[in-house]
């Protein structure tokens, strides 16, 4: 049953504090060059394939992408192909979001924590069918998640991207997102399975990478694009947690810059974790954010 939900446990989280940074950096170095070569190869192969099918009168009803639900919206930043149409995970940008950056938000241990074991104070109880049997999933909302989502919906084109299965994550998102913040929902089938992990490849979204930020508790999820990431600590049940509240000032600032790299890139002398620590260690920031939420 646990394979339905992709999450870390408390022991994994303790190990991540020591191991994740080195593993991510090493893996990124090894994979970047390989991915460029394969991206160009696949892109050109697809163009030749489409051209061949067009000449032979092939239909347009079959999928080249293994059944993934995607929509064509233009070319991804940093990928050059002859084809004027490529398939991406996200639909065209809504008119109301044209001038917003894209925020990719994880679900488990970032916004909520879920368990198949009964939780007395669960915010949601979601029925999930597994092998013909209905199981109850107990879901806890992270403190300040409502305030966080409402604010991010004002500032960003928000996308839920989880490595969990849709049969669990979709109904949880229905209950969690009461304001229709998520413009799209992406699940495990939209991830890239790499090195034993489900990776969220931002190149597949069809948005300018300079205008994408990913919020996730698992460094393995953004291993291809670490400089687009704002890492958050994994949450399980701490009712005093204020992480989401403390991140609001950072995201307000990010929403106004031309490129997220000007703030997040390690080339500017700040790692993401150090930047967040600096911003969130100030009690005045937390106090002002709490006051803003109370006023609204």
Cα-Cα-Cα-Cα torsion 287, 14, 230, 121, nearest 10 degrees, comes to -60
* Catalytic residue selected from 2, 20, 97, 106: 106
- List the structure tokens of 171: 């109904």
Q: Is 146 a catalytic residue?
A: no
Which of 40, 106, 88, 64 minimizes the C-alpha distance to 207? 88
| Helical segments of the chain, H only | 10-55, 145-155, 166-176, 243-254, 261-264, 272-280, 283-295
What SS3 class is residue 228? helix
Name the β-bridge partners of 213.
103
What is the rounded distance in angstroms from the CA atom of residue 278 to the CA atom of residue 270? 10
CB proximity list for 139: less than 8 A, separation 6 or greater:
112, 113, 114, 122, 123, 124, 125, 126, 172, 175
For helices 243-254 and 283-295, what crossing angle results, to 10°?
90
Alpha carbons within 13 A on the beta-carbon side of 203: 17
What is the rounded distance in angstroms from the CA atom of residue 257 to the CA atom of residue 254? 6
Q: Are the C-beta atoms of 108 and 7 separated by less than 8 Å?
A: yes
User: How many residues comprise the chain?
Assistant: 296
CB proximity list for 278: less than 8 A, separation 6 or greater:
270
> Which pairing describes strands 87-88 and 71-72: parallel, antiparallel, or unpaired?
antiparallel
* Catalytic residue selected from 108, 177, 201, 216: 108
Q: Is 106 a catalytic residue?
A: yes
Known catalytic residues?
A: 106, 108
């Amino acid at each position: 049953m646990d394979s339905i939900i992709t999450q870390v446990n408390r022991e994994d989280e303790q190990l991540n504090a020591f191991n994740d940074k080195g593993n991510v950096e090493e893996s990124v170095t090894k994979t970047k060059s390989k991915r460029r070569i394969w991206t160009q190869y696949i892109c050109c192969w697809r163009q030749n394939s489409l051209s061949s099918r067009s000449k032979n009168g092939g239909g347009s009803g079959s999928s080249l992408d293994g059944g993934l639900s995607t929509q064509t919206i233009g070319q991804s930043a940093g990928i050059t192909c002859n084809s004027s149409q490529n398939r991406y995970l996200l639909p065209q940008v809504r008119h109301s979001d044209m001038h917003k950056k894209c925020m990719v938000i994880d679900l488990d241990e970032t916004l909520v924590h879920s368990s198949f074991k009964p939780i007395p104070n669960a915010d949601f109880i979601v029925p999930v069918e597994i092998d013909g049997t209905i199981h109850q999933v107990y879901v806890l909302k992270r403190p300040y998640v409502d305030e966080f989502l409402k604010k991010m919906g004002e500032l960003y084109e928000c996308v839920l991207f989880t490595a969990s299965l849709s049969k669990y994550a979709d109904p949880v998102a229905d209950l969690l997102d009461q304001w229709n913040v998520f413009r799209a929902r992406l699940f495990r089938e939209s991830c890239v399975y790499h090195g034993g992990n489900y990776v969220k490849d931002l190149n597949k979204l069809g948005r300018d990478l300079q205008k994408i930020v990913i919020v996730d508790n698992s460094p393995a999820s953004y291993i291809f694009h670490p400089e687009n990431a704002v890492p958050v600590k994994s949450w399980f049940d701490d009712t005093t947690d204020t992480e989401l509240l403390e991140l609001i000032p950072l995201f307000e600032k990010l929403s106004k810059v031309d490129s997220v790299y000007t703030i997040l890139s390690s080339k500017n002398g700040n790692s993401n974790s150090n930047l967040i620590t600096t911003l969130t260690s100030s009690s005045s920031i937390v106090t002002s954010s709490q006051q803003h939420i109370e006023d609204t």
